């Protein structure tokens, strides 16, 4: 499974890079705080909403601590998507949130 650190994501965002961030937390969790510009598809709905994602687009997968995003990353990779797990999740994220 491909992984990226929270620090790498934060630095890329700080540098103005356009990242495709897929947050797999539940809607209520995302409403509390999230990285601006994320796509939110809760983990339990991911298999039903795959058509919303593009296999040619690299995605960084996010959750609260890295567990659900790890599951989602493996699931997406198995289905031919370019997915990378953000290790540590939102608990470790210190960048700008909404």
Q: Which residues pair with 82 in a beta bridge?
A: 58
- 8 lies in which domain range? 2-92
| Total number of domains constituting the chain | 1
Q: Over the stretch 2-30, which tens digit does the pLDDT of each residue have? A: 999 999 999 999 999 999 999 999 999 99
Give the domain CATH number at 51.
Answer: 3.40.250.10
**Phi and psi dihedrals of 69, rounded to 5?**
-65, -35
Q: Flag whether 69 is in a domain.
A: yes
Quick check: is 63 catalytic?
A: yes
Structure confidence at residue 5 (pLDDT): 97
Catalytic residue among 63, 72, 76, 86: 63
CA nearest to 26, candidates 9, 5, 40: 40
pLDDT tens across 17-68, in order?
Answer: 999 999 999 999 999 999 999 999 999 999 999 999 999 999 999 999 999 9
Sign (positive or negative) of CA dihedral 93, 15, 37, 52: negative
Evaluate whether residue 97 is within a structural domain: no
Residue 24 lies in a domain: yes
């Amino acid at each position: 499974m491909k992984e990226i650190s929270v620090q790498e994501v934060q630095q890329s965002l700080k540098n103005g890079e356009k990242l495709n961030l897929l947050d797999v937390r539940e809607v209520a969790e995302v409403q509390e705080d999230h990285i601006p510009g994320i796509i939110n598809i809760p983990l339990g709905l991911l298999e039903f909403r795959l058509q919303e994602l593009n296999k040619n687009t690299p995605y960084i997968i996010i959750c609260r601590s890295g567990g659900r995003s790890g599951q989602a990353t493996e699931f997406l990779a198995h289905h031919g998507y370019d997915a990378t797990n953000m290790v540590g999740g939102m608990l470790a994220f210190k960048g700008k949130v909404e």
